[in-house]
Amino acid sequence: MLFFLIGGVLAMAIRWQLAFPWKPLPFLGKPLDPQSYLQVVTMHGTIMLIFFIIVVLVSAFGNYLVPLQIGARDMAFPTLNMLSFWAAAVPSAVLFIAGFFVPGGPAAAGWTMYPPVSAGGAFSPSHTGHILWVLSIILVGASSVMSGINFVATIVRLRAKGMDYFMMPLTTWAYFLLSVIIIVGTPVLASGLIMLLLDQLGVTTFFLSSSAKAGSRPLLFQHVFWFYSHPVVYLMILPAWGFVADIFSVFSRKPAFGYKVTVYSMLAVVLLGFVVWGHHMFVSGMNPLLSTPFSILTAFVGVPTGVIMFNTFCTLYKGSIRPSAALLSATAVLVIFVSGGLTGLFNAMSALDIYVHDTYWVVGHFHFTVGGASMFAVFAGTYFWYPKMFGKKMNETLGKLHVVLSFFPFYLLFLGMHLIGLSGHVRRIADDTGYQFLHPARPAQMGLSYLAFTLFSVQLIFMFNFFYSLYKGKKAEDNPWEAATLEWETSSPPPHENFHREMVVERGPYEYGVEGVKDYLPQGVYAEL
């Protein structure tokens, strides 16, 4: 079980690299026609969100870490787990990549796939690509649901003896709560995708039809789509928050500040996240009266989010900091997410959102919150848990270099997008030279591209470090970071049953700086100090 999860992390890391397209500028040697540009944009979005974040950050890291952190031998339903990978995730990936090889090419309707473009053969040459996309996402959704069920069953049933719910590390809490989103939200997307698929095949007329009498309503897809897709962004960010909380705790030798409050805030984010989907649709043509409640509720979500960020920051405050690549990366997550979250509050106000909708302001916003936070969270998680997973240590200097060299281009790149977006630069257009009012943005666009190229190249340091350390890295001991959570009380890498003995727990997960003890108290009872 552990092995193919690790393999999955590697494969996705590689695929992620391949999927990182640079902005196709019209004068750049290989001209992309507008249709291809849209396809690149669509596939970039879908690969990053679904195949990188959901598969790697949520499923791969989660299936690996949750049993370890609660002292279990494996997930509650190992067969279901295998099914979710081999029978759902893999075919999903196959179908998805097949889109590149069919006539008409892959999907080109944006990762949001709104009908009628995504539904009608008459509206797009990539019709087959669209069908494959929908089939692929239905499968990966099924895989996700299986994982969600598995997480809940595992956390409810397989915690080590003595481990109450409020003694679980925040990473595990994050996976527990995101499973709620998976279970409630994903099937609704499935229903929307089924309707879209049937429309695409010409069987039904939910969103698209040739006759006005049929009663089709394309806007309905947007409602169904965003009912899932908004909570899903909270699903995506929860593991990042969990990682950051745990990592901050270890490297500042302090318990997580406000642990219980953080847990309740995470829960609040999950619940509130389900009632704000309309903020993606302020300009869609939905009833403007709905904009008000969606606006207000969206602002409310900012409150628990802010609390979590504050608590996380306070964990570092006055801590005994041990600098490491994992800590740097986790700090990057915090900085980037808070920056992005602040612009989120602006977007919540429908009056402003109407202006910035579908501009680069929004692209900048979500790359900060979703892209940056998740990306640096994956780095942080990798730097932190790599010794546990592979039994070798990654090179710390290279790691720190990678994080610092990634952070600055990343931040400037997407900050720049906010600025050109604010001046009106619309998104998803292949060539902006035709627009008189956008001429001042041309030098900015070029600068942004160079930043992006730099950012992409810096990832090679990470890739090199990752693979080189597998073979030539220093051997890692059980607990190289002197962390207190349960996963560090087994060997690196863990044996097949995860632990060498049955784990019993007597304390919380963050007993650092305890009086009368050398430095910290591990969570399991029989560990020697």
Partner 1 sequence: MWLFISTEVMMFSGLIGCFLAFKVSDPHFTELSHHLNKTLAGINTLILITSSFTYALGLDFIKRDNKQKFSLCLILTVLLGCAFLILKTFEYKDKFAHHIFPKTNVFYSSYFTLTGLHGLHVLAGVVLMLILLIYNLKKHFSASYYDSVEAAGLYWHFVDMVWVFLFPLLYFG
DSSP secondary structure, 30-75, as one string: SPPPHHHHHHHHHHHHHIIIIIIIIIIIIIIHHHHHHHHHHT-SS-
Binding to partner 1 in span 184-223, by CB under 8 A: 184-192, 194-195, 198, 202-206, 209, 213-217, 220, 223
Instruction: Name which of 288 and 495 has its Cβ closer to partner 1.
Output: 288
Q: Are 8 and 85 in contact (CB under 8 A)?
A: yes
221 close to 115: Cβ distance less than 8 angstroms? yes
Cα–Cα distance between 237 and 377 in angstroms, integer? 9
Alpha-carbon distance of 175 to 282, in angstroms, equals 31
Distance in Å, CB of 215 to partner 1, minimum: 4
Other C-beta atoms closer than 10 Å to the C-beta of 513 total 15
Instruction: Give me the least distance between CB of 190 and partner 1, in Å please.
Output: 5
Among candidates 144, 147, 169, which has minimal Cα distance to 159?
169
For the bound state, the minimum distance from the C-beta of residue 493 to partner 1, rounded and expressed in Å, comes to 30
Cβ proximity to partner 1: between 78 and 187 the closer is 187
Closest CB 209 distance from partner 1, rounded Å: 7
Least Å distance, CB 227 to partner 1, is 8
> Which of residues 48 and 66 has its CB atom nearest to partner 1 in the complex?
66
> What whole-number distance in Å separates Cα of residue 330 and Cα of residue 416?
23
Contacts of 446 by beta carbon, 8 Å cutoff, 6+ apart = 25
Binding of residue 229 to partner 1 (CB under 8 A): no
Kindly state the smallest distance separating residue 231's Cβ from partner 1, in Å: 12
To partner 1, the closest distance from the beta carbon of 2 in angstroms equals: 24
- CB-based contacts of 268, cutoff 8 Å, min separation 6: 303, 304
From 34, 195, 8, select the one nearest 105 (Cα to Cα). 34
Binding marks (x or -) toward partner 1, 339..358, rule CB under 8 A? --------------------
Nearer to partner 1, 124 or 147 (CB): 147
**Residue 407 phi, psi dihedral angles, 5° rounding:** -65, -50
- For the record, the structure tokens of 164 come out as 């109450």
For residue 250, the number of C-alpha atoms closer than 13 Å in the C-beta half-sphere is 32
Cβ 63 to partner 1, closest distance in Å?
A: 16
Picking from 120, 101, 123, the residue whose alpha carbon sits closest to that of residue 43 is 101
Which ranges constitute the DSSP H helices of 317-359? 325-348, 350-356
Closer of 112 and 209 to partner 1 (Cβ): 209
The conformation of residue 228, written as its DSSP 8-state character, comes to H
Site track for partner 1 across 454-473, x = CB under 8 A: --------------------
Query: How far is the C-alpha of 308 from the C-alpha of 159, rounded, in Å?
Result: 25
Stretch of residues binding partner 1 (CB under 8 A), selected from 121-129, 181-189, 439-447, 463-471: 181-189
Examine residue 183 and tell whether it contacts partner 1 (CB under 8 A).
Answer: yes
If the CB atoms of residues 80 and 98 are measured against partner 1, the closer one turns out to be 80
Minimum CB distance to partner 1, residue 200 (Å): 12
Stretch that binds partner 1, among 37-45, 141-149, 432-440, 466-474 (CB under 8 A): 141-149
Residue of 405, 311, 299, 416 lying closest to 365 (CA atoms): 416
Name the segment binding partner 1 (CB under 8 A); options: 148-156, 283-291, 367-375, 396-404: 148-156
Q: Does 152 bind partner 1 (CB under 8 A)?
A: yes
Stretch that binds partner 1, among 149-157, 241-249, 391-399, 503-511 (CB under 8 A): 149-157
Q: Counting contacts by CB under 8 A, is residue 285 touching partner 1?
A: no
| Residue 216 C-beta: closest distance to partner 1, Å | 6
* Of residues 177 and 430, the one with the C-beta less far from partner 1: 177
- Give the Cα separation of 448 and 367 in Å (integer): 14
Least Å distance, CB 204 to partner 1, is: 4
Residue 153 binds partner 1 (CB under 8 A):
yes
Closer to partner 1 at the Cβ: 190 or 451? Answer: 190
> What is the nearest approach in angstroms of partner 1 to the Cβ of residue 85?
18
> With contact defined as beta carbons under 8 Å apart, do 307 and 218 qualify?
no
182 vs 483, which CB is nearer to partner 1? Answer: 182
Nearer to partner 1, 158 or 183 (CB): 183
Told to check if 369 binds partner 1 by CB under 8 A, we report no
Total binding residues for partner 1 by CB under 8 A? 33
Amino acid found at 281: M
- Token pair, residue 112, equals 């949001």
C-beta atoms surrounding 418 within 10 Å: 22
Could you tell me the smallest distance in angstroms from the CB atom of residue 132 to partner 1?
A: 21
Distance between first and last Cα of the chain: 31
Give the Cα separation of 424 and 273 in Å (integer): 28
- Binding residue for partner 1, selected from 83, 149, 286, 412, defined by CB under 8 A: 149
The type of residue at 127 is H
Give the Cα separation of 436 and 286 in Å (integer): 31
> Residues 68, 145, 268, 486: which binds partner 1 (CB under 8 A)?
145
Question: 197 vs 240, which CB is nearer to partner 1?
Answer: 197
Residue whose entry in the numeric block shows the structure tokens 């089939």: 135
CB of 170 to partner 1, least distance (A): 23
Tell me the two tokens of residue 299: 């602002």
**Contact between 287 and partner 1 per CB under 8 A:** no
User: Residues in the site for partner 1, rule: CB under 8 A?
Assistant: 145, 148-149, 152-153, 183-192, 194-195, 198, 202-206, 209, 213-217, 220, 223-224, 227
